[in-house]
Amino acid sequence: MKFSLTILGTSSALPTSSRFPTAHVLNIHERFFLVDCGEGTQMQLRRMGISIASINHIFISHLHGDHVFGLFGLISTLDLLGRKEDLHIYSYFQLEEILQSHLSFFGTDLGYKIIVHSIDTRKFQQIYSDKGVEVYSIPLDHRIPTCGFLFREREPSLNIHKEFISQFGIPLSWITRIKNGEDYLTEDGTLIRNSALTYKPYFPRSYAFCSDTAFNPSIAKWVEGVDLLYHEATFTEELAGLAKKTGHSTAAQAAQIAKLAGAKKLLLGHFSSRYKDCSIHLSEASAVFEPVIAVKEGDIFDLPMGNRL
């Protein structure tokens, strides 16, 4: 079962000739989730070979243009492609007002329904779930109401060690009960603990998106142990004062969050257009935490299912 992140955009407010504004696509069990939708997102989706029609859920961190301007064109394209399925968008409540204004002019005969789910950006709370994943909002510290997102794969169902079925003579009628967590009592009265009979087939995988935000150590507790932590790194340490003033972070500050959280891997992005390359970001972050990657458009991060628990 797939758990894969594709980076569509890595720039901050100003796009450059080589960087697009923020957008990520997460593939969880062949269900596609779009996180932020900066200008040019649908072009990047096509370049990456990701079907626009496959996206049913869009998560918008905040209502600054570099994170949302691509949404309006995407909505139009979906209509031109004949979409009929509902499109779910998760964002701060004012997005619904913006969409209503836009659609009153450009989308009066839209062929599908848009459902906006309002988020209280001040709270860490579950905002979406299905049989494969749970999604939580992460309070962030920016100039306007902003939240990040934690995608956490659901705990897998227990499997039974096959050799124990014959060893203890476990009847078929007990298989489901044991998978649901029950201990097993043999015919001679011996109690076999569930933990001895079962195993989880894989580690649940996770990805956190934290942008835009000033340095905020509280983030660490909400993303503790996350496999992939994407944290904005708009500036290098030389401009730490500007980062604080504008509600952004430096690469080193992003690394501090990763270290506090015990993240498995740190992904840096949302780079200011003043930087032609991100070598300094990478150097400053890696002095605090490793492994760290300065992401590029087109980067794909596949998380394998891993070992049994």
8 Å CB contact between 59 and 117: no
142 marked among binding-site residues: yes
Which amino acid makes up residue 248? H
64 marked among binding-site residues: yes
Q: What burial class does residue 295 get, using C-beta atoms within 10 Å of its C-beta: 0-12 exposed, 13-18 middle, 19+ buried?
A: buried
At which residue do the structure tokens 């594709």 appear? 6
248 marked among binding-site residues: no
Q: Is 86 marked active-site?
A: no
8 Å CB contact between 59 and 34: yes
* Three-state secondary-structure class, residue 29: coil
3-state per-residue secondary structure call for 119-168:
CCCCCCEEEEECCCEEEEEEECCCCCCCEEEEEEECCCCCEECHHHHHHC
67 marked among binding-site residues: yes
**Both tokens of residue 132?**
């494969």
- Among candidate residues 66, 130, 183, 227, the one labeled active-site is 66
120 marked among binding-site residues: no
Nearest-CA neighbor of 28 among 116, 135, 119? 135
102 marked among binding-site residues: no
Annotated binding site for Zn(2+): 62, 64, 66-67, 142, 212, 270
Annotated binding site: 62, 64, 66-67, 142, 212, 270
Q: Which residues are catalytic?
A: 66
